[in-house]
Amino acid sequence: MPSGACKISSLDSSRISSISPKLPPPRRKTPKKSSVDTCQPVDVHHGVAEAGPSNSPSSGESPAEKEKLLETDNRVSESKYEICDGSGGGGAVDVMSVLEELALAAAEEELELSADQIRVNDQLQENELLAMESIYGENVIIRDRQRGLRTFQIHIEPKIHDELTIATKLCTTSNKMEMASTSSLDEFSYSFGVQFLPPIVLTCSFPASYPSHKPPRFTISVQWLDSLKISSLCSVLDSIWMELQGQEVMYQWIDWLQSSSLSYLGIHQQIILGPYGIKAIGDRRAVSESISPDSDIPLLMRYNDEQVRESFLNNLHECCICFSEHPGIDFVRLPCQHFFCRSCIGTYSDLHVSEGTVNKLLCPESKCGGMIPPSTMKHFLGDDKYVRYESLMLQKTLDCMSDAVYCPRCEFVCIEDEDHFAQCSKCFFSFCSLCKSARHVGEPCISPESKLQLLEASLVSASRITGAQRRLELENKINDIIRELENRINEIMSEMEVARVCKICPHCKMAISKIDGCNKMVCGSCGKYFCYLCNKPINGYEHFRGGACKLFQTVSPDQWQERTNGRRAVSRLRSELNQERTNGRQALRRLRSELNLGRGHKCPLCSQENVKTDNNNHVFCWACQTHYCYLCRKVVKRSSEHFGPKKCKQHTAG
């Protein structure tokens, strides 16, 4: 590699010209006819300024070259549109075929160069390709040599400072020959925003006389421009070569296409696709890959989405929860387009699932409320917690259904009818969904107080069974019956207490108690609003304006004094509840003693009557909390030491 290779990699035009060797003038072959080696550029409509080699003449132009440029300008003014059968502007054109045609046309004016000139040009071409590969990396694609000439492609991404709007007019007619005469009533506009545009593809081949005498042969292909606009870009590249003739120009071409092509075309905020169904007669080197709106719009959208995602993954972002910066690959983007780091969203999901508040498992961004997809939840939660998440979601969904009730026997989900009756599909129990009792057509529901009285009567009737009948019928079932009755009594007492101090959410039937504040309540289960006074669903505060319900209740001084002394009220309520529990336990113990008459045994310490349960001789005194043996009446400190093969038997009948 010559000593000037490192300077050429920077592609500074002044340095390049300083190291280029002084070559003798080339000997030109006699051409058969006058022609130029490339197709000439044309005008661009929509207010784009005309550009071409004639606008930037070189100070060293010969009269023959000026005459050629004048002929080019004449052909530019004759460019026009023609209606074609295709739907685009030449999207199927092969750029390599175009380069082959350009090489054949240029062969007629090929220069005879000396061996030294060819060697120097070849070295400069190799250095320029190495420089472009080091600058643009994977965007430079080296192709196979065509006719022994170096050929390559460069993907140039135009710089976009702000978001661009892509717009096009879609026609309702399907006849392509009528598209040119379609009225404005038969078409409508469609637009969308992008942050990235598909690259401008510059395909070049170096002739043997480049860079000493001839420019590179090239084509420009673009997905989102028509051929006339691309022709104007070709003319600018020609003018740059005329200014830097005899020097390497690839870097200047690429830099201009990347930074100045959009502003040159007058594209600042909007790009209008099309026109479609019309073939533009322009520069042969201009290849428009625009085919139809059906193919162009999805391609532009897909490319923009891919580039936005890639840009997001490669940059640093701040998490809105922990306010720490992480690379984009460590973030999770939700369907609402808000993103959070994986650590925070994992902790956030685990917390709500553990507490059972999956209805609040929404986008953490304030005022968003977007859902987190189950696929995201499955990624961050383990198998066990994801099963719990699905179970809770099903439970919350069923609770929000107004006609879904649970069977009082097997807790299976049932659907109630208009008369508030339901039949369980699992145990086939037909019941009333209001009182949870058996179906009672034409009769009112039994109140909780009446249920409590019936249960107490059942306990009394059970206590009146004779001893012989008791031993035959209730020997193995007495404990189960007592336990079931006790549970039902506790459940009814709880329902009575809930009905006294709570209101039922009209959406999900969850019991809610108001501690303080206004009467606009929000359910902690389903998150819906309702009025605490009339128990009706509401949306905002309009319900309390001019209606019977007031937002804040008027509190008397006595009530205010009672509320301010909350500790005393809570203590009094706890004392009452504890007293009721104590009385209930004592009543049940007395009942057990009555039902197990003849099976009782006195505690060796406190002489309290205790009952032997399930043939187990290890008895626990409920009064003094002492363990003792039913057979030997001794206190048992450790069961394994007192009972054994040569000791007291732990289980005996009677």
Around Cβ 457, how many Cβ atoms within 10 Å? 10
- Torsion, Cα 519 525 529 531, to 10 degrees, reads -40
- Torsion, Cα 463 465 468 473, to 10 degrees, reads -90
The proportion of the chain whose per-residue pLDDT surpasses 70, expressed as a percent, equals 70
Question: What is the structure's pLDDT at 413?
Answer: 86
Query: Do the Cβ atoms of 172 and 148 come closer than 8 Å?
Result: no
Class of residue 116 by CB neighbours under 10 A (exposed 0-12, middle 13-18, buried 19+): exposed
pLDDT at 182 over 80: no
598/548: higher pLDDT = 548
241/70: higher pLDDT = 241
Q: pLDDT digits over 324-381, tens only?
A: 898 988 999 888 889 999 999 989 998 888 888 888 888 988 888 888 888 888 888 8
Question: What is the structure's pLDDT at 474?
Answer: 52
Around Cβ 218, how many Cβ atoms within 10 Å? 22
Show the tokens assigned to 613: 């349960």
Class of residue 99 by CB neighbours under 10 A (exposed 0-12, middle 13-18, buried 19+): buried
Q: pLDDT digits over 87-142, tens only?
A: 444 445 677 878 777 777 776 666 788 889 889 999 999 999 999 999 999 999 99
Show the tokens assigned to 54: 């004639």
pLDDT at 49 over 50: no
pLDDT at 66 over 80: no
53/368: higher pLDDT = 368
Q: What is the pTM of this model?
A: 0.52
Question: What average pLDDT does this structure show over 174-199?
Answer: 68
Query: Do the Cβ atoms of 148 and 110 come closer than 8 Å?
Result: no
Highest mean pLDDT among 95-104, 222-231, 508-517: 222-231
Determine which helix (DSSP H) or strand (DSSP E) holds 453, and give its type and residue range.
helix 448-463
How would you label 267-277 residue by residue, b for 16+ Cβ within 10 Å and e otherwise? beeebbbbbbb
Query: Do the Cβ atoms of 519 and 551 come closer than 8 Å?
Result: yes
pLDDT at 258 over 80: yes
Please tell me the distance from the alpha carbon of residue 313 to that of residue 317, in angstroms, as a whole number: 9
What mean pLDDT is reported for the chain?
Answer: 75
Show the tokens assigned to 435: 């009182």
Angle at 111 between CA 109 and CA 116, to 5 degrees: 165
pLDDT at 67 over 70: no
Sole residue written with tokens 């059970």: 462
The counts of H helices and E strands in the chain are 18, 28
Question: What is the structure's pLDDT at 163?
Answer: 87
Confidence label for 501 from pLDDT (cuts 50, 70 and 90): confident
Q: pLDDT digits over 569-597, tens only?
A: 666 767 777 777 677 666 666 655 555 54
Question: What average pLDDT does this structure show over 312-319?
Answer: 89
Question: What is the structure's pLDDT at 127?
Answer: 93
End-to-end Cα separation, the chain, in angstroms? 110
